[in-house]
A and B are shown apart, each in its own frame.
Chain A
Amino acid sequence: EEEECPSMADAGSLQQTQLIQRLTHVCRYDRLERPFEYDSDGKRLPIVVKTRIYVYFLQNLNSDLLQFKMHALLQLRFQDKRLAYKAFNRSDNILGQKHLSERLWLPHIFFANERESSILGTDEKDVLTSLSPEGNVIISTRMQASLYCWMNFQKFPFDQQFCSTVLESWMYNTSDLILEWEPHTPISFDPEMRLTEYNMAQFWHNTTIVQSDGDNLRHGAFAGNYSSLSFTVNLKREIGFYLLDYYLPSMMIVAISWVSFWLQADASPPRIMLGTSTMLSFITLSSSQSKNLPKVSYIKVSEVWFLGCTFFIFGSLVEFAFVNTIWRRKENIELKKVNSKYIIKSTLTPRPARRQIGGSLSNESRARSCSSLDNIVSSTESVRNGNGTVNQGFNNYLTVHPNLPIIRTECAEADTVSICSARTNNDHIVDVDKDKKDTPPTFTTMTPQEIAMWIDRRSRFLFPAMFLAFNALYWTFVYVL
């Protein structure tokens, strides 16, 4: 076999290909074995591989698949003294592509959080190999990789993500191979790189040792320490899209539901239409936002907003039900003073009102009958007078009131017909005077309609104020925590 080994005596006059062929011949170069260096004690030293990455662009984080795509140039630099040809009086670098790299020993670097990776290139793979007279080997590879990035959506859409690219030695542990970043600008990005949904705040690189042992079998049965490089990008989500497409429209939708408080309490069709339509619009708007997110179980910041707005729209509908029920009552409410405490207290106590009419169910039934008839009379009066000014409203009120004694008399008709006949001849003015005397002078009387309008007027300020407070708490929480 010794005679088969090609001579290096005339290396100075050889072609580049011939030189490479002789340098990498099997008799003096083993491409499956790493280069060995020894220190002064004769101990083996590990080979040091310098790494540099130039990122062309990052594709958007895919929130649903928890991955991002990177297009980069990966450069590895190491020294292999077996390939030194300075002694043969040649001073130029040898350049080659995939054909040259296939003849050399190369460190096997893999991405630990890789989902998919490949080398770019249309006709040939984009691999550039450079060999210097001192034996320095530089390998540049244009590649693309889909990398796994665990995202935390707790503060979505005000979140920031940290995505790492982890390079590890595949075959050799730290006693044989050590990975290091280049001293100057190991990570750089293309100036034309843009991200549509995120803003790259900062990035940093790191060098660590990964332990592979019985508990962490990331290298299989080959225990030991492995060299690992990583660089991390800090991506902050651009919130302009979400402000314009989600938060601002939802504020408008909630504000539309407050138009209900400016309508009269008995205007049921428009108020119901406002409440239900705003709820449908808001749910349609919200479901389009959460379409691209994975189904995480914790409460996101956007979900707090969703539930808050839903409760406000729901509250306006509940307020309408409350106000409409009060509007259709028949008893006036007597108040000590005209302020919130007494109005609410008197409105929400149904027991005394029932007791005033009478204790037995039979009397209650008759009272209801009277109320129903009274309602008919009231409708007739309102039809005759039309929707008029305050004065007509006042007249309407006075007109309705004197009818009450007559109606009661009619209800008592079953007992004494003669008394009923006699009473119909009485003067109405006397009845009005009698009622005025019966009323205690220290109490103010409000009709159910007045109470309903009072509640609506208060809601016009209460709901926007509560919404402003909710917004103040929300945005404080978003930007402080």
Chain B
Amino acid sequence: LDEDCPTLDDGDSLSQTQLLDRLTHGCRYDRLERPITYSETGQRLPVDVYMRAYIYFMQNLEAHDLQFKIYALLQMRYLDPRLNFRNVSPKRRQPILGEEHLRNSLWMPHIFLANERDSSILGLTEKDILTSISPDGTVIVSNRIKATLYCWLNLKKFPFDEQHCSTVLESWMYNTSELVLHWEQKRPITYDGALHLTEFVLQRSWSNETVINADLSDLRHGAFAGNYSSLSFTVHLTRVVGFYLMDYFLPSMLIVAISWVSFWLQADQAPPRITLGTSTLLTFITLASAQGKTLPKVSYIKVSEVWFLGCTIFIFGSMVEFAFVNTIWRRKKSVPVKKLNSKHILKSTLSPNLLRRRSHARSRSFSGTALHKTADTGSLGGAGFNNYLTVNLPITTIKEGQVLDQQRTSRVVQKMDVNFVESAFGSMGSAQSTGAISAASSSQTLTNNNRTESAGHQEEIDLSGWTTLTPQEIAMWIDSRARFVFPLSFLVFNLFFWTFVYCI
């Protein structure tokens, strides 16, 4: 075998290819074995591989797939004493340059991307691989690569979030006793000046060197346990919020403000207020669902979801306020309040015990009033003016009775007498009322009963000293208060929201 080994004596007269062929011949160079260096004590030293990366551009983080793409130039540098040609060819002072062909005849450290999903070397006709061998045996290999890397996104503060995405390089075959990875001393990571990101801003980046322990519990290197050298560089990306402010937050503020138009309408106008509530909610959900389409389904509450729930509650609240106000509007009893302020109005409106007692007392009176109205309509031909007066005030019954007495038969008068007697008995249980039953036919008796009832009513008003509000007035009062309470609450919610967003 010794005579088959080509000589290196005439290295200067050889061409570059011939020199390389002889340097990497099997008799003196084993491309499947790493270069071996010994220390002074005869111990084997690991190979030191120095790395450098130049980022051409990065593609946007894809939140849905939790990955990003990187286009970079990756450079490795190490010393291989077997390739030293300073002695055999002293006149060659320039490095030997080559591409993939040269690299295929050399030993290469196998570096892989630990968080890789997909990677390949760029190139059109040939792979973009540049190999250089210096006279002292230093080998520099540069690859233009593209890689799809996994990046875990924490979207808790979306869309005000910041992400940290790493690129991890590891030795595949040799552990730290054979091969150690390092970053270059000066500027290991650099970026192209034309690097742009549309959705994020690159704040800063840093590089790190660690040792990864692979054992039986961590099988990232299979059955080959041991410590492996690992390099990583991390980019700190901040999401730009201008897009979300203009396309999500500002329109949703307008939509919530539209739902407050409801408070300027009257409480009994159900169709427009219901339409306003449901349409604004539908519009808001249409707007919000367009934003959440590109995000993965995470289980924690994002900041954008806090905003979504807040706005939904405000629109929902305006509809609940309408239901409350409309129910009050359709009541039949006026509510006495001690004073005209919020406390007493709400207290009187929301107390069911008092309402029940008054309702019990007034049920017969209400029945009487209804009968009054029906009789009047039938007998008098629907005189609006008189109808109005009859409904509200008992004093007008005097005139009513007189008119009836003059125009109708005794049968009708008899019917009216029975109604009046029942009404009087329901509100006052006096003996005089009981005595009136037997004297129903007398017109003068009717007048006396009405006078008594009127006096009792006057006494009640004088004794209470309270102000009476109709249900419609209470409903309008609540609406006018809601015009200020809802915008004010929304302002407070915004104050807390944006304080939380920018301070925490």
Contact = CB atoms under 8 A, between A and B. Distances in A.
Interface of A: 26, 30-33, 65-66, 74, 101, 106, 108-119, 127, 141, 143, 145, 148, 150, 170-172, 214-222, 268-269, 271-273, 275-277, 279-280, 283-284, 287, 290-291, 294-299, 303, 306-307, 310-311, 314, 317-318, 320-322, 324-325, 328, 361-362, 364-365, 368-369, 372-373, 376-377, 380-381, 384, 410, 413-414, 417, 420-421
Nearest to A33: B16
Given A268-B269, A279-B255, A115 B286 contact: no
B198 A321 contact: no
Contact of B15 (A33, A268, A369): A33
Contact of A324 (B57, B124, B251, B264): B264
B283 A279 contact: yes
Interface string B438-463: 00000000000000001000100110
B144 interface: yes
B247 A290 contact: yes
Given A108-B99, A297-B243, A380 B258 contact: no
Contacts of B251: 283, 310
B462 to A, nearest CB: 8
20 contacts: A32-B99, A101-B125, A108-B99, A216-B190, A217-B190, A221-B75, A269-B269, A269-B275, A272-B273, A273-B275, A280-B282, A280-B283, A294-B199, A295-B198, A296-B240, A297-B240, A299-B246, A311-B254, A321-B265, A365-B340
Contacts of A291: 290
Given A117-B123, A365-B469, A295 B102 contact: no
B201 to A, nearest CB: 9
B182 interface: no
Given A310-B251, A369-B470, A410 B198 contact: no
The 6 closest A-B pairs by CB, nearest first: A297-B242, A276-B279, A297-B240, A268-B272, A272-B272, A220-B142
Contacts of B151: none
B173 interface: no
A369 B476 CA distance: 12
A283 B288 CA distance: 11
B60 interface: yes
Contacts of A74: 124
A370 B89 CA distance: 117
Contact of A220 (B52, B123, B126, B290): B52
A321 B286 CA distance: 24
B467 A217 contact: no
B496 interface: no
Contacts of A30: 15-17
Interface of B: 15-18, 20, 52, 54, 56-57, 59-60, 71, 73, 75, 77, 97-99, 101-102, 122-126, 128, 130, 132, 140, 142, 144, 146, 186-187, 190, 192-194, 196, 198-199, 240-244, 246-247, 250-251, 254-255, 257-258, 261, 264-266, 269, 271-273, 275-276, 279-280, 282-283, 286-287, 290, 340, 384, 387-388, 392-393, 395, 454, 458, 461-462, 467-470, 472-473
A271 B101 CA distance: 77
B470 A372 contact: yes
A380 to B, nearest CB: 5
Contact of B124 (A119, A318, A368, A413): A119
B122 A295 contact: no
Given A220-B130, A268-B269, A287-B287, A32 B98 contact: yes
Given A33-B16, A384-B384, A272 B60 contact: no
A369 B246 CA distance: 48
Contact of A297 (B196, B241, B468): B241
Contact of B146 (A116, A219, A298, A380): A116
B258 A275 contact: yes
A386 to B, nearest CB: 14
B71 A115 contact: yes
A113 B272 CA distance: 58
A160 B56 CA distance: 24
Contacts of A296: 198-199, 240, 242-243
A33 B17 contact: yes
Given A217-B190, A272-B275, A361 B340 contact: yes
Given A272-B261, A384-B384, A108 B125 contact: yes
Given A110-B128, A299-B246, A310-B254, A271 B272 contact: yes
Contacts of A150: 194, 196
Contacts of A365: 340, 467-469, 473
Given A32-B16, A322-B264, A314 B258 contact: yes
Contacts of B282: 280
Contacts of B254: 310-311, 314
Contacts of B473: 365, 368-369, 372
B73 A283 contact: no
A283 B286 contact: yes
Contacts of B458: 414, 417
A103 B101 CA distance: 12
Nearest to A276: B279
Given A110-B144, A217-B73, A65 B59 contact: yes
B452 to A, nearest CB: 14
B55 to A, nearest CB: 10
Nearest to A125: B125
Most buried by A among B73, B99, B265, B388: B265
Contact of A32 (B60, B102, B276): B102
Most buried by B among A109, A111, A280: A280
A239 to B, nearest CB: 21
A107 B124 CA distance: 12
Contacts of A26: 17-18
A307 B194 CA distance: 32
Given A117-B123, A284-B286, A268 B130 contact: no
B261 A221 contact: no
Contact of A268 (B54, B125, B271, B461): B271
Given A110-B124, A276-B276, A283 B193 contact: no
A287 B124 contact: no
A413 B393 CA distance: 10
B388 A377 contact: yes
A370 to B, nearest CB: 11
Contacts of B273: 268, 272
Contacts of A320: 261
A347 to B, nearest CB: 14
Contacts of A361: 340, 467
Given A33-B15, A114-B122, A299-B246, A218 B265 contact: no
B258 A119 contact: no
Nearest to B76: A220
A279 to B, nearest CB: 6
Given A218-B54, A269-B275, A279 B75 contact: no
